[in-house]
Amino acid sequence: MIPTTINNFIIYSVLIWGTNMLLNVLGTIKLHFPSTKKYDKPIDARIEYKGDRLIGESTTIVGLIVCIMISIILYFVGFDFKWVIIPFLVYTGHTLGSIIKRRMHKKGGEFVPFIDHGDYTITTGIIFIALGYITPIFAILSISLTYIFHPIMCYLAYKIKLRERPY
């Protein structure tokens, strides 16, 4: 178990939030440089399931590669395996959130509370609790802070034209 310390909480949260921010940077790049879209293909290859996309446009191969690269860098810098898997779990959480949205018949860009601002933090927390790496309080605190600060950051990014939508 990762000791419940402020230092470990900061590492845990910064890895989760930092990975999510890097993935959002990919979206910003595609927004401001549309020609880059041709290099960033959706991971579901646009496959449909019961009339809706399986996952959607925002979960991409480049995003997966970025998460793998972050994990490799963390490994070579000397982080423990527990920390190294966080970028992959963030990507997995985003993917699960996208799948849930598609099953709810939500299209890309439609806001869904709890999924759009926290799918990545919830998934990482659940898996880290299940593996015995953190306590539920550790995860709940991270999720709570995510639901406070993620919407604020999205709105600010929207105001300075780094996002298409304020959520």
Name the percent of the chain lying above pLDDT 70: 99
- Please report the pLDDT score of residue 56 as a whole number: 85
Instruction: Name the residue range of residue 92's domain.
Output: 6-159
The Cα–Cα gap between 110 and 78 comes to 39
Asked whether residue 167 is domain-assigned, the answer is no
The pair of three-digit structure tokens given for residue 22, joined into one six-digit string: 């890097």
Mean predicted confidence (pLDDT) in 61-90:
94
Asked whether residue 103 is domain-assigned, the answer is yes
The pair of three-digit structure tokens given for residue 158, joined into one six-digit string: 């929207």
Asked whether residue 148 is domain-assigned, the answer is yes
The Cα–Cα gap between 46 and 30 comes to 18
- Please report the pLDDT score of residue 113 as a whole number: 86
- Count of domains forming the chain: 1
Burial class (CB in 10 A: 0-12, 13-18, 19+), 26: middle
The Cα–Cα gap between 115 and 153 comes to 16
- Please report the pLDDT score of residue 2 as a whole number: 87
Asked whether residue 71 is domain-assigned, the answer is yes
Asked whether residue 66 is domain-assigned, the answer is yes
Asked whether residue 63 is domain-assigned, the answer is yes
The Cα–Cα gap between 152 and 108 comes to 21
Asked whether residue 32 is domain-assigned, the answer is yes
Asked whether residue 46 is domain-assigned, the answer is yes
